[in-house]
Copies of this chain bind each other. A is one copy, B any other.
Amino acid sequence: MTLPSKNKADNSVALQQNWQVNRQITLASRPVGAPSMENFNLTETQIPTPNQGEVLLRTIYLSLDPYMRGRMNDAKSYAEPVAIDEVMVGGAVCRVEKSLNDKFKVGDLVVAYTGWQDYAVTNGEELLALPKTLTTPSYALGVLGMPGLTAYMGLLDIAQPKAGETVVVAAASGAVGSLVGQIAKLRGCRVIGIAGTEDKCRYVIDTLGFDACINHKHPDLTPQLAEQCPNGIDVYFENVGGAVFDVVMPLLNPCARVPLCGLISQYNATALPDGPDRLAQLMGLLLVKRIKMQGFIVFDDYGHRYNEFSQAMGQWLVEGKIHYREDKVIGLAQAAKAFMGLLEGENFGKLVVEVGPLTLAN
């Protein structure tokens, strides 16, 4: 596979630096709200030396991704936080500078989680070798790397869009969103992007081929999105949260799927003056813990599998493996009172009303 070649000039920029030191950007302090320069330190250390089995890597491209904001907090998310004075984490395309590991030789390009620094030593276990055919190595951090895999699996495995469905993509010009929308178009969906500038919206429509793109800073966001989604929203690929989700929420169709990929609007958020936003709390929890929450209406979703169920349950009942208790009320006139009790938890077992006697002669 040969990928489109980038302008080689991009790669020939001579960076003015001393290659005898390892520059590192470390976490100086934890941000409250948006990070500022004082939260980071640029330090210089010795270039580390690989031992037997290890490789010395030099960073060529460092990926910057929104998830890194979470690692700057003290709270344990799905990964450990970066410690104070530790190097900021991150994926990178690196070149093998020295190798004491049979699997790698000098000059190999790899993807590694070496972080915000020039050099790192690793044992080679977590390294992903770049294919020689990849003429633009930085793509391994994007379209062919983590953001690409995120877009592909989040859309195709979690959301499973069908042709003709309406897919709304937050952060539509971003690393993930731009791919989500294009894949959805390839699957025959109507695709509406949401982005943060007019330039981005034009790019999303003209270059990426979305059907429409709406600027979330526009005061008419709500009616504009409704107008672009006349049949509601079947898939919402969430990268943003907050006010954008609020606008999407009422348009979600029955059986909509919402892959929760990111909540960038919340990453710099501090508690609201009137307490935490509990909707945002729940969504944050679902995201960082990779939780699936799914409403269902049993006959609509599973009516076609009634026979499978009734065979299994019937068997369990016959075998005495399942106990079942009824709370039986006699007389239709008791129904309203019994129902009110049901809502207060006063029943004990399945509540049924015996309305007419089963055995009365016709």
Contacts and interface: CB of A to CB of B under 8 A. Distances in A.
Interface string A147-165: 1111011100110000000
A243 interface: no
B295 A15 contact: no
B294 A336 contact: no
A183 B317 CA distance: 11
Interface in A167-187: 171, 173-175, 178-179, 182-183, 186
Which 5 A-B pairs rank lowest in CB-CB distance, beginning with the nearest? A278-B279, A175-B350, A142-B350, A287-B295, A260-B295
A322 to B, nearest CB: 5
B153 A355 contact: no
Interface string A178-218: 11001100100000000011011001000110000000000
A92 interface: yes
A12 B208 contact: no
B352 A144 contact: no
Interface in A308-362: 309-310, 312-318, 321-326, 328-333, 335-340, 342-345, 347-360, 362
A60 B328 CA distance: 12
A153 B301 contact: yes
A296 B343 contact: no
Nearest to A284: B295
Count identical subunits in the complex: 2
Interface stretch (A32-40, A45-53, A219-227): A32-40
B12 A357 contact: yes
A69 B292 CA distance: 26
B254 A298 contact: no
Given A2-B318, A281-B279, A208 B294 contact: no
B354 A260 contact: no
B332 A118 contact: yes
A64 to B, nearest CB: 4
A78 B326 contact: no
The secondary structure that dominates the A interface is mixed
A255 B179 contact: no
A343 B31 CA distance: 13
A125 interface: no
A352 B66 CA distance: 12
Contact of A61 (B118, B345, B352): B352
B153 A296 contact: yes
A62 interface: yes
Given A97-B362, A148-B310, 20 more contacts: A3-B317, A11-B357, A15-B355, A35-B343, A37-B337, A62-B355, A64-B342, A142-B326, A144-B314, A150-B296, A153-B298, A173-B325, A182-B321, A186-B316, A196-B345, A267-B343, A282-B283, A291-B294, A292-B294, A293-B293
Contact of A288 (B138, B295, B357): B295
